[in-house]
Structure 1
Amino acid sequence: MRSRVTVVGEVLVDLLWRSGAEHVLPVPGGSPANVAVGLHRLERPVTLVTTWGDDPPGALIGAHLDAIGVEVRRAPSATDRSTLAIAYLDEDGSASYEFVAAWDPRALDVPADTAVLHTGSLALVVEPGASDVLRACRRVRERPGTAVAVDLNVRPAVQRDRAAYRAACERFAEVADVVKASDEDLAWLYPDATAEQAARDLLARGARLVVVTLGADGAFALTADAQARVPAPPVDVKDTVGAGDAFQAALLDALASAAAPASEEDRLPLPTTADELTRVLIRCVTAAAITCTRVGSDPPTAAELQSAQL
């Protein structure tokens, strides 16, 4: 039975600019890379398929991934540029972003033993890479016993045309089994709808499961036949950087742990009852909460997450 999660998407260097600080701090990151690190810490077999340039930010990225031990398949970059993000941290630790973005892999090599393919963030909207990612999702979805997961992780700074951004996200919702978004993502994409209305629209486009994070208010999940909502554990927040990625890593880990499909032609099983959804969501919000107690994207290990849930 397959158990590998393959993460396809950008790595970048965050220039963390904290309110009142005189200097910025360069930190390797990027949502897909953070998710891969989170999965690695949860002891899930994981491969990160990505690209970066042979430049100073790229050297920092490569050293970071090597030190952690994440398995990486690095695709050639058409422009040989690494992506930079400026993360402005306000006094309560919340972040807003600006990007100098490049996402132009020449090839995306997805391992054959992939159970869950995950992508999200800039990789969904920054061309020419976004079109290649969409094709990779379609190829994996044709394989039996697999699932495709997408985290919208909306970043208007890379595509300010709301209609174009929404169309890109909806294209991925049509090929995904699981779509995750924050309530802020959905409010920007669908300003005239509630978070639940927007989630049900994404569900109707083809996803089997939609998960919505609500920050300090927790998260909810919807399928065609069930729904669940859980609160977030109260914690002393240092900052929120990487919290959504830690949530996503815990979600993907749970999906990849699913039982084998009943038939060789079936998709990977997903949580289907309110109780199953609740158990998964509790684990995910706990992972996010632990990350919020630390500075920067620092997701929990399997042991830390298990201990926090006892």
Structure 2
Amino acid sequence: MNGIHSGAQIRSAERALSVGTWLIVCGAMLYSVLTVTPLMAAHTPDEWDWTAPILPLVVDAAVVIVVRLDSVLARLGERGGRWPVTLRWMTGVMTLALNTADSALKKDLVGVAVHAVAPLLLIVTAETGLAYRRSIAAAVTALEERQRAERERIERERREREREQREHEARLAREQAEREERRWLKEQELQAAREAAERAERERREREREQRERERERIEREAAERRERERREREERERRERQARAEQAERERAALLARGPATGKLPEDEARRIVAAAFTAGLPVRQTAELCGWSVGWVSARYAEHRAPAAGGAELAIASR
């Protein structure tokens, strides 16, 4: 709880410091612009009067950069080195000089003192805020170290409790494992006896199965051999039948072609058979027309039919007659 309160207090103080610093910076910037602009306008050609606010704005922008980056570095616990310090003091001195220059030129000491308030407050606030932020960063670091140490202590205690719990569980597990091992040994003995009996029974069944399998393979082999013989015999029979049909068709074609020129116009069926035989033998159309007694045009038409894709079927049909 103390760590939580301390963290909340540090964050609250840092917010207050940040808000206060930026209020002072914004007020000093506004005051500086209002104070320095008339001075710059008085020392600027009339046609360039509109540039009078630029210089105070540039100086004040440098002040903002310094304050902002210093706050970031202080929060990170780092230092910017020599150049940030130079820039911080240079901008402060410039702001002080610009704000008091008009009164100093008029030898108005009261005006110098009045116009020096805001720049001096800005310079001191920047330095003080930097110191505060470094102190806050150191406090945050110390708080984090304490919290880390507390977390490590809690973690060590937790690991110690877990180790004791694991040892207790391991002891219980060993005792349980010993009981399980004794029970397992008894079961193994019974299991070994059952497995021996089952193995003997399996071996007997396996021998019987192998014997049946060999018998089945023998029967299948004999059936396959028988089917193969029947297939070969059937193929041989079909081959002889095809050969016989081919020889018969060849003899018929030879007989048709050996008849010589027809004395008259033969019947169409007989003429078609002669044309088919002549087409197969490769005879000319005119010779075929002499054999069947039909015209050359009719024979040419029949030759065209035989040249079509269905010619093979037609030849088989004619040969089978």
- TM-score tier, shorter chain, comes to under 0.3
Which structure: greater helix fraction? 2
Give the structure with higher Rg (CA): 2
TM-score when scaled to structure 2? 0.18
Q: Which has the higher contact order (CA 8 A, sep 6+)?
A: 1
The TM-score, its normalising length taken from structure 1, stands at 0.19
Structure having the larger proportion of residues in strand: 1
